[in-house]
Amino acid sequence: MAGSAAIGLAVAVGAVAAAGPWDAGQRTAERSAAAARDRARQPAYSISITTLPPGAVPPSLPNTTQSPAPTAAPVLLPVPEGTAAPAAKADPLAARLDPLMAAPALGPVTTGAVIDVASGQLLYGHRADVTSTPASTTKLATAVAALGTLGPDARLTTTVVSTGANRIVLVGGGDPTLELTGLADDTAAALKARGQRSVALGYDTSYFAGPSLHPIGHNENLSPVTALMVDEGRLDKSTEGPAQRAFDPASAAAESFAELLRARGITVAGTPGPARGAGGSRLAVHQSAPLSELVERMLTYSDNDLAEALARQTARAAGLPAGFSGGAQAIAGALRKYGVPLGKAVFADGSGLDHVDALAPVTLARLLALIADPRHPELAPILTGLPIAGFTGTLATRFRGTPGAGVVRAKTGTLTGTNTEAGLTVSPTGRLLAFAFMTQGAPAPNPAQSALDALTSALSTPSR
């Protein structure tokens, strides 16, 4: 677009832990039937592609620059202010990408879309409007819905209330990252100030609704989704990736809280049980990190527990039941308000663990173009949370030795037989690109991931 500012993305390469976490959502059951279903899908509809009107100034990205590591060359540097966007010209993307889309490692079902963020033009489409299982790229939709509905400064609140003589209730506020030490300190101090040294303890999980168990069942990749849990219900000291989980995270949290109170000189009689805290007087409160930080963590480490919690928080804010179904409705509703074309999209959860979820690559690419729009600064934490190829999060050990290393920011998704990759990159001519590549029926995950990385890297490779 002549006379408009070119778009660039500034990212930083920092020190990264040696091993990235397990890519969220991989499981080994019920995949052959699901892959067969996706293989049979045919495009039965289209999604309109919206472009900016002639003369309109395209958006530029929020500044996400950080200090680069000394050993890493600057990547995705912003184009200087006032530099004209490169004139559109025939770029043989199809000739470059089609052979890569046909790689046997990707399996029999492949779809893809590449959009020029500045112009809104669909540069490449390979069955771009056909839906298939998105796996953890669903978290992009969850992030947009949560930030757009709740705002980046929102915090998740856990309270302790007094509901009668010598009875207190720990009231869950839907914070899966809850840590109880400070809350126990404040509660014990408040009780002592009242002259209370002995209490009965109950716990309240009514902030969320519906079933707590995801359709995948008890699983090391997701705790039962409840409004009260400590450290995502993990039974080890891990902070991301798979881990053994408590079967009843709320009860386990209340038991831990009781032990902490006892260690602070408060006698807790009996075993904590379910209770209601409504109408109680507040003794102590704990607030989570701001939603902006929770979203960054969810995306960088593909955190399923945070994704499901944020979907429920979004449902509550939208006046819907805070369960799997309500969360799914809230996500779809929030995206429609933003004008994201959903086509035949299906949302069944917030994490992408459910194979019923369905998105088209053009929907994911449009979603990423929205995220890159500076007119929506509330969505900026998604940019900073997207893993950097070869350096951070779920991409820390991928893209090594490829043109995409340090250039691509992307969310990946992996279920058995399902592999997806969606994000942002910059072309050799300085154009900011939003992309999504999706596959079904891949014979093995590692070769499929490498083939997806090759596709994505090709967007940043100069034409020969």
Angle between helices 445-458 and 93-101 (to 10 degrees): 180
Q: Decide if 158 contacts 183 (C-beta within 8 A).
A: yes
Tell me the CB-side half-sphere exposure of residue 218, using CA atoms within 13 A: 8
**Residue 337: active-site member:** no
**Residue 302: active-site member:** yes
Buried b / exposed e along 16-28 (16+ C-beta atoms within 10 A): beeebbbbbbbbe
Q: Decide if 358 contacts 134 (C-beta within 8 A).
A: yes
| Backbone angles phi and psi of 54, in degrees to 5 | -55, 135
* Catalytic entry in 4, 60, 139, 411: 139
Give the ranges where 20-120 is alpha helix by DSSP (H).
Answer: 31-40, 93-101
Give residue 183's region: left, alpha or beta (phi > 0; psi -120 to 50): alpha
Tell me the CB-side half-sphere exposure of residue 84, using CA atoms within 13 A: 7
Task: Tally Cβ neighbours within 10 Å of residue 172.
Answer: 27
- The CA distance from 89 to 427, in Å, is 13
**Residue 136: active-site member:** yes
Tell me the CB-side half-sphere exposure of residue 204, using CA atoms within 13 A: 22
* Catalytic entry in 119, 302, 351, 427: 302
Of 142, 461, 97, 436, whose CA–CA distance to 306 is shortest? Answer: 142
* Catalytic entry in 60, 119, 136, 351: 136
DSSP 294-335: HHHHHHHTT-HHHHHHHHHHHHHHTTS-SSHHHHHHHHHHHH
- The CA distance from 407 to 11, in Å, is 8
> How many residues can be counted in the chain?
464
Q: Decide if 252 contacts 233 (C-beta within 8 A).
A: yes
SS3 per residue for 389-415:
CCCCHHHCCCCCCCCCCCCCEEEEEEE
Residues labelled catalytic: 136, 139, 302
